[in-house]
Amino acid sequence: MIEDCAQATGARYCEQHVGSIGDVSCFSFYPTKNLGAIGDGGMVTTRDGALASRVRRLRQYGWDETRETESVGVNSRLDSLQAAILNVKLAHLDADNVRRRVIAQRYNDALADLPLALPRERQQTSHAYHLYVIACDDRDGLRTHLSRQQIGSAVHYPTPVHGHRGYAERSRIPDGGLPVTDRLVRQILTLPLHPELSEGDCDSIVAAVRGYYGLSR
């Protein structure tokens, strides 16, 4: 089992950190992630020694310890500068994720009475809240309203995988299509959420969202 932990660094399931459950786990250190470098980077973790050796070969030309190429590989090493930055930031990951959860709960409490679908946590989980994504029928109207209030928002992601030309021949679409996916992609909207967001910023975002529906804080 391969765990995709690209947007879940620091999250937990049944008291276990994600990345410690599957056979192989993949993390992203893109600058916007919960644990981000100042450039592209990533990490693969595994308890399987043979798999670890294979990944090490893949990341560096397929070389073994003697620089003999045993299989085709790439140049995909994390450089020392990025590793040093990540090592410093790692000590702050848990505290930053706690702050993300506090902000998310604040949004949940303040927006619960609006016609929005809000993020929900499964039982026995601790969400990392890399993103705070809501869904609403008038997504574009709300986004325009927020922009006029000088509040940024985003759509992650505007086109589903099966809608990309590059994946057209690789996607297996059932006869009835993917109506739920197609509906949600028109509804989703990401509100600002990061550890540096101040209480005042949170209040302004909440007030702007509620104001769109004609409600006060």
CATH topology of domain 93-212: Aspartate Aminotransferase, domain 1 (3.90.1150)
Per-residue pLDDT, 66: 87
Structure tokens, 199: 């209480």
Assign 2 to helix, strand or coil: strand
Q: Where are the domains of the chain?
A: 2-90, 93-212
Rounded Cα–Cα distance for residues 212 and 202 (Å):
16
Q: Would you say how long the chain is, in residues?
A: 217
Could you read off the pLDDT tens digit of each residue along the chain, which spans 217 residues?
Answer: 999 999 999 999 999 999 999 999 999 999 999 999 999 999 999 999 999 999 999 999 999 888 899 888 999 989 999 999 999 999 999 999 999 999 999 999 999 999 999 999 999 999 999 999 999 999 999 999 999 999 999 999 999 999 999 998 888 899 999 999 999 999 999 999 999 999 999 999 999 999 999 987 6
CATH number of 2-90: 3.40.640.10
Per-residue pLDDT, 84: 96
Per-residue pLDDT, 182: 95
Q: What is the DSSP string of 124-155?
A: TEE---S-EEEE-TTHHHHHHHHHHTT---B-
Alpha carbon separation from 60 to 67, 68, 72, 125 (Å, rounded): 9, 11, 9, 36
Q: Report yes or no: 36 and 42 within 8 Å, Cβ to Cβ.
A: no
